[in-house]
Amino acid sequence: MTTELRVLRASEWDDWFEAVELAFGGVPESAEERAFDRAVTEPARSLGVWDGQQCVGTASAFSFRLSVPGGALVPAAGVSLVSVAATHRRRGVLTEMMRRQLYDVREWGEPLALLTASEPAIYGRFGYGAATQQLAAEIDTARVRLEVPPGTDDVRLRSAAPADVRDACETVYARNVPARPGMLARRPHWDRMPLLDPESDRDGASPLRCVLAERAGDVVGYARFHFKPEWKWAGSDATVVLRDLEALDPAANAALWRFLFDIDLASKVWVRNRPVDDAWQHLVSDIRRCDVRVRDSLYVRLVGLGAALEARAYQAPVDVVFEVADAFCPWNEGRWRLTGDAKGGASCKRTDEAADLALSVRELGAAYLGGVSLASLAAAGRVRELRPGALAEASQAFGAGVAPWLPHGF
């Protein structure tokens, strides 16, 4: 097999995107989604593998900025639209693209690469660690009550067409980004994504609806959701399907959840992607009847290890030397001394000093946003403590105080 890997030319986008669709099963995207994907593709940051005229491999890297512990927004390559044609699978095409892409990301000076995986087994070998989780729940609102905090009744709710209030919602979203690691600052075109609403994805539910939370005329939160009717002999058993919700304070948050719980004719709220520490869990009378589940979400890869570790803040003083294995990005291999604390920033430089902790770059990616503790990775045998006390020190420092969370796929 002779194939050529090259940077995507804008004129090749249709063939390239068709290869993506085929690898994902061949069901064409809606016109709305296709137009969005075309708008957000950055050809100069996308790769295609060609076998003659046929595109057999694809990979893209959106230019994102990721919120990290401490609130900094760090340049990151959002790896997506990765595919290899079924006719060319398991011959190393993905591996070739992943290697080239990580070299490119390094050239671009971006310390991080990020992705959400179609299957968790794929990306660990390339140094990506599962750094965030997403919470799903099916809440039995016929039986579960909400206990709301003072001030909730002062919040006014207003229904609006999602497109009409997009800018107000984006303002709320932008204010929340630095407060939660794992969120992405919006880039041009990406504010369209939360409003994508192809009928083919609704499974019988309503078009997207939006409710704003307001106080003294200011928008302090929003929820976007679908209503999925279901009529049974005994009456309605409809579901409210929450798409996204952001609030600037506890009362606004509670007012929005109370609204979702109280919609007439519905007896369930279905939640697919929320932070694992989401506050609604502390408002409900019966968490067991909320059927909470979690799964992996954002995978993080340190591409520029020193710059990545310097970009975040640390919850407690830390001074440790890591012995890092990174077969895929050899420039990260070796010993690094990390010093930092919550206030003064951090330094992460190469060193010859004795190592305190040994691990691979994948574990550093998993721990980077504070959602996975180094101690739990050590318990699994994936981090080795070489100096007594170093593990507890580093594990505490790497915490974030808030669960990292990616609000939407890419």
What is the nearest approach in angstroms of ligand ACO to the Cβ of residue 126?
A: 9
Residues from 13 through 52 that contact ligand ACO (CB under 6 A): 23-24
Q: Interface with ligand ACO by CB under 6 A: which range of 112-120, 196-204, 255-263, 368-376?
A: 112-120
| 398 counts as catalytic | no
Report whether 234 contacts 254 (CB < 8 A).
no
Phi first, then psi, for residue 194 (nearest 5°) are -65, -15
Residues 6+ apart with CB under 8 A from 116: 80, 297, 298, 299, 406, 409, 410
Residues 6+ apart with CB under 8 A from 389: none
| 328 counts as catalytic | no
Residue selected from 1, 27, 31, 121 as contacting ligand ACO according to rule CB under 6 A: 121
Q: Is there binding between residue 90 and ligand ACO (CB under 6 A)?
A: yes
95 is in an annotated binding site: yes
| CA 50/CA 58 separation, integer angstroms | 9
Q: Is there binding between residue 87 and ligand ACO (CB under 6 A)?
A: no
Question: Coil, helix or strand for 410?
Answer: coil
What is the nearest approach in angstroms of ligand ACO to the Cβ of residue 99?
A: 10
Residue selected from 68, 115, 144, 284 as contacting ligand ACO according to rule CB under 6 A: 115
What is the nearest approach in angstroms of ligand ACO to the Cβ of residue 59?
A: 7
Report whether 248 contacts 226 (CB < 8 A).
no
Q: Judging by beta carbons within 10 Å of its beta carbon (0-12, 13-18, 19+), is residue 192 exposed, middle or buried?
A: middle
Looking at the DSSP assignment, which residues form a beta bridge with residue 383?
A: none
Instruction: Tell which residue, 62, 52, 41, has the closest CA to residue 113.
Output: 62
Q: Is there binding between residue 91 and ligand ACO (CB under 6 A)?
A: yes
| CA 144/CA 260 separation, integer angstroms | 12
Q: In terms of CB distance, is 96 or 319 closer to ligand ACO?
A: 96
What is the nearest approach in angstroms of ligand ACO to the Cβ of residue 55?
A: 12
What is the nearest approach in angstroms of ligand ACO to the Cβ of residue 83?
A: 4
92 is in an annotated binding site: yes
40 is in an annotated binding site: no
CA-to-CA dists, residue 294 to 135, 281, 368, angstroms: 4, 13, 19
Residue selected from 40, 68, 76, 79 as contacting ligand ACO according to rule CB under 6 A: 79
Q: In terms of CB distance, is 125 or 384 closer to ligand ACO?
A: 125
CA-to-CA dists, residue 143 to 65, 74, 139, 394, angstroms: 41, 43, 9, 43
Q: Is there binding between residue 117 and ligand ACO (CB under 6 A)?
A: yes
Q: Is there binding between residue 295 and ligand ACO (CB under 6 A)?
A: no
| CA 403/CA 396 separation, integer angstroms | 14
What is the nearest approach in angstroms of ligand ACO to the Cβ of residue 268?
A: 30
Q: Which entry of 36, 123, 259, 314 is annotated as an active-site residue?
A: 123
Residues from 125 through 154 that contact ligand ACO (CB under 6 A): 125
Binding site for ligand ACO (CB under 6 A): 23-24, 79-84, 89-95, 115, 117-119, 121-122, 125
Q: Which residues are catalytic, by number? A: 123, 410
Binding residues for acetyl-CoA are: 82-84, 90-95, 118-119
